[in-house]
Amino acid sequence: MDLKRWQSVPTLVTCVLLAFSLAGCNQQSASPESSVPNNQTGAKVKIEVLVSAINNLPTDPAMDMIKKELDTKLGIDLKITAVVGDEDYKNQRNLRLASNTSADLFYVDRRDMIKLSQQGSLLDLSSHMDKLQATKQFVGGEEAMTTGTVKGRVFGIPKASPAPQFTLWLRQDWLEQVGMQAPVTISELLHVMKAFTEQDPDRNGKNDTYGFTGNPQFNALDQIFGAYGTTYLGKFYLKDGKLVNSIYDPRIKQALGFMNEMVKQGVVDPDFLANTKGQQKDKAYQGQVGLLNFNWPVVVNSDAAKQISAFQPQAKWVQIQAPTGPGGSYNGYDDVGARSMMVMPASLQKEPEKLQKIIELLNYLSSTEGSRLVQYGLPGIHYQLSGETITPTEQIHDVVYSHLYQLVGRDEMTYLQTKFPDAEPYYRFAIEQSRLKVLDAFIELPPGFNAADANRYIMEETFKFIYDKRPLSEYDDFVHTLEKTYHYELYMESARKQLVEQDLLNQ
């Protein structure tokens, strides 16, 4: 393996540990009753929602049947402003807040929620929560609402969590070619990677396969860290009731040592550090690698299956359990506070009629009827209902934009079972995997601590350890520099204090 390749992508590497796997699944049923308010006569109340999206609404507004239904039932004129791309969304959100032209509903992460609440930019929802009981129940109750609370005051409503999708995927046909069983332990995993690299599993007579790849900006190494009971460097979690940061976890050096051994054994895609999400997918589809951390739709939905079949008709990808190691078996981590927060601008306090309509909208979307509308469309048109069984019709494809209206999230398992019944074994497997619960989203960065600089240093040194550019014997020196130069001790002490104040950690 050409170990010099890692040096060509330092800016990509710095983002690795900031990635989130997709978080754990919090499944809540919609409230059983439809809470449709009486539609008052007169002018409809205009409500704008700003969302980040991967696609947009129908170009012809007349085709937006979900909007028509919501507007009619609630006496509103609902406008969804969808911005494609997270960065563009954040820029527009911040610009509109600064110019006092904010949307009536928009989304932030917890840290931005805290910052904006301190600036007085967000509406304090505490006195309105009695009216939002249906919404509160739908998103997960008291426990979920903790993430939207700052010093006892509610500023955000967490969106119901989507189901986790990522697990390790392995080429079963390659495994059969090299005469091995699915790996159970972390050491067996390395043996399989080595066989996939050295034993010509595709039988083409060429030395052109690798055991492992992924996207280092995302979650490629989750299960390997998980086998040592830890995470990417810099995450906070509890062990035996005590707060641990993975940088100080006694097993972190073992995890880094194992990854260093993967590199030395030559089983890692040599372009690993430069991979994008698209590139790792292409390498899997084209038969260059045999193991990676993937999300199930990329493998089993119809379009993906066609691509795999076109490139590698003999390929058989299967999910495998996260390997067991000295620290257990974790499929990654779940930042339990890292949920998208729906917030409102403070200016809404001066518009009680609009605020009341927003409350009615959120409660309706949390009801069975409203939730079904924004998941599947109109009954009798986009789906048929028999008892509690929902059967999509061909017309359900006319509302592929429906996720833009799922403002409070959705009942994830029911949604998956309805939309993707044939894929249930795959998403159940992903949902049932164990994940380490981390607490980072509950921690506000303290003054004097530059997280960007600290994380950049952590990422750069992490991959130096993995790629043998810095010996693990210098790990303690790395920690010392992190504490003294980057003030990591300040961050640790502040994190401990904040978690105690939030009753998430005992004194």
User: 3-state class of 222 per DSSP?
Assistant: helix
Mean pLDDT of the chain: 89
pLDDT in tens, 181-202: 999 999 999 999 999 999 999 9
Across 118-132, 305-319, 337-351, least confident range: 305-319
Higher pLDDT, residue 30 or 299: 299
Helices marked H in 337-411: 352-365, 368-376
**CA–CA gap between residue 17 and residue 293 (Å, rounded):** 15
pLDDT confidence band for 42 (50 / 70 / 90): low
What residues does each domain of the chain span?
3-22+164-335, 45-162+339-420, 442-501
Strands annotated E in 233-330: 236-239, 242-245, 291-295, 317-320
Q: How far apart are CA 307 and CA 203, in angstroms?
A: 21
Q: What pLDDT shows up at residue 106?
A: 98
Task: Report which of 26, 463, 19 is spatially closest to residue 235, judged by C-alpha positions.
Answer: 19
Q: What percent of the chain has pLDDT over 90?
A: 73
- Neighbouring residues of 231: CB distance < 8 A, sequence distance ≥ 6: 222, 225, 237, 246, 332, 333, 436, 438
Contact by Cβ (8 Å): 293, 166: yes
Give the whole-angstrom CA distance, residue 124 versus residue 482. Answer: 37
What beta strand segments (E) does 15-75 contain? 45-53
Which residues fall within 8 angstroms of residue 145, CB to CB, at 6 or more apart?
129, 136, 139, 154, 157, 158
> Is residue 41 scored above 70 in pLDDT?
no
The Cα 95–Cα 98 span in angstroms is 5
Query: What pLDDT score was predicted for residue 31?
Result: 41
**pTM score, whole prediction:** 0.79
Q: CATH topology of 3-22+164-335 equal to that of 45-162+339-420? A: yes
45-162+339-420 adopts what CATH topology?
D-Maltodextrin-Binding Protein; domain 2 (3.40.190)
What is the reported pLDDT for 503?
A: 83
In this prediction, residue 36 carries a pLDDT of 55
Rounded distance, CA 107 to CA 168, Å? Answer: 31
Q: Which CATH architecture has domain 3-22+164-335?
A: 3-Layer(aba) Sandwich (3.40)
Mean pLDDT (whole number) for 316-340:
94
Q: Assign 37 a pLDDT band (cuts: 50, 70, 90).
A: low
What share of residues in the chain are helix, strand, coil (percent, to 5)? 45, 15, 35
Q: Inform me whether the pLDDT recorded for 17 exceeds 50.
A: no
Q: Residue 240 contacts by C-beta under 8 Å, 6 or more apart in sequence?
A: none
| The pLDDT of residue 38 is above 70 | no
Residues near 110 by Cβ (< 8 Å), separated by ≥ 6? Answer: 147, 156, 337, 338, 339, 341, 441, 442
pLDDT tens digits, one per residue of 243-281: 999 999 999 999 999 999 999 999 999 999 998 888 888
